[in-house]
Amino acid sequence: MPVTQVHWLTTPEEFTPWVDAWRDLLRRSPTPPGPYHDPAWILGCWHYPGNRVAVGLIAEGSRLRVGLVCKCETDTGAALLVPARLLSFTPRLAAAHPACLVAVADDDPPTDLTQLLDHSVRHFRWQVMFLNFLDPSVAWFETAVRNSATARGWCIREGKSSTDAFIDTIGGTAEYLQRRSKQFRSNQRRARNQLLANGALTTVELARSDVPHTAIADELLDVFDRGWQRDNINGALRPAVRQFVLNLLAGMREEGLLRVYFLRLNGRAIAFEFGFVDRHAGGLYYACSRGYDAAWKKQSPGNLLSEFIIDDIASIGLRGIYLGDIHMCAETLYKLAWLTAEWPVRNLMIVRPHTAYGLLDTCYEKFAWFQRLWWKLRLGERLRRRLTPTT
């Protein structure tokens, strides 16, 4: 029997020799991984200014049994391993997943699993950590995490119930629109006619074309410098962040995973979306960021671009489009009426006691008066501003 060993990789040079074994792990994993587990994405994250990325492996010889990707967000500082922008909402940050799990279903958990978790604790000095488990998940891993945390006196909180949602692209746009409301379809037709009245309306996907990569990157980065409404990436890109985006786009395009979509009116982009293809989970497209020109907000150009994306994804034989996690609350339940697939997600929040965050979490959990103060004094927003770098 090969000897089980733990490897803790903190540089791209250390991770590169394990890329083939990592891809084999993804193919064998019963829990469908996402694009953020792809080696091209992991290697790209090391180029992000201020990011701290590490990969933990449990291996038997050259064969991996467990892989854990840990990423410290650049805007949190060293104290909290959570995206600080979410602190404006609540100290219960169920939506943050700085630690991502890929595991192989063994009958028994490796004895070195605790050692792997200890590596992540020491490396990141985290006060709170999030693990998300797709259901059905690798049950022994969740049990092992709970046992390890409890033995150390760490607090474990159940995250909010959510589901990872997908649109099946079989049938293309026609099938998708049939699942939407009559009012939605009517609005789409009216919006398209209004835009066509102003000139030529075209859609394009550039990543699979022969357009030079520099031209694609220039147009994509240009939309970030304009005053557009955007998802996920806010504000103009700082020079260092811009360079990271360029490196990431180049790496993902070289791997054949990048997709860049534009909706243009008279040749000028009025909506965009870029994302990556997950080659491991049966072929899914994950949108990374999207946006539209606020001057055309009433025409919903992003929704019109989505129709083209659905048909394009279907034409190249991908399984579907990943819409992200949807929390089971009144504001988002309407989406369940037209989704075609979903994976329930379980979230665990592990809080270290005797830390600043542990104190906040305990007070928020136990004292109603503290919850009221949290919102009344906007403590989360103040903490976020304090932690976010100004440079």
pLDDT tens digits in sequence order for the chain, 391 residues long? 568 889 999 999 999 999 999 888 877 776 655 666 778 778 877 876 666 788 888 888 888 888 888 776 544 333 333 333 333 333 433 333 344 555 555 556 666 777 777 777 777 666 777 666 655 555 666 777 777 777 778 888 776 556 667 777 878 888 888 888 899 899 999 999 999 999 999 999 999 999 998 899 888 888 877 767 766 555 566 676 677 677 778 888 888 888 999 999 999 999 999 888 877 656 788 887 888 988 898 998 999 999 999 999 988 888 788 776 665 555 556 666 666 665 666 667 777 778 777 787 788 888 889 888 887 887 766 665 565 444 4
pLDDT for 197 equals 94
Is 361 within 8 Å of 91 (Cβ atoms)? yes
Instruction: Please choose, from the candidates 228, 211, 212, the residue with its C-alpha nearest in 3D space to the C-alpha of residue 269.
Output: 228
Residues facing 134 on adjacent strands: 345
Average pLDDT, the chain: 75
Tokens of 297: 């907000």
Q: Would the pTM count as exceeding 0.85?
A: no
Query: Is there a contact between 15 and 59 (Cβ–Cβ < 8 Å)?
Result: no
Domain 170-318 has CATH 1.20.1440: no
Q: What's the pLDDT at 9?
A: 92
Same fold, 4-160+345-387 and 170-318: yes
| Contact assessment for residue 165 and residue 335, using Cβ atoms and an 8 Å cutoff | yes
Token pair 């064969």: residue: 63
Token pair of 259 as six digits: 């997709």
Architecture of the structural domain at 4-160+345-387: 3-Layer(aba) Sandwich (3.40)
Annotated domain spans of the chain:
4-160+345-387, 170-318
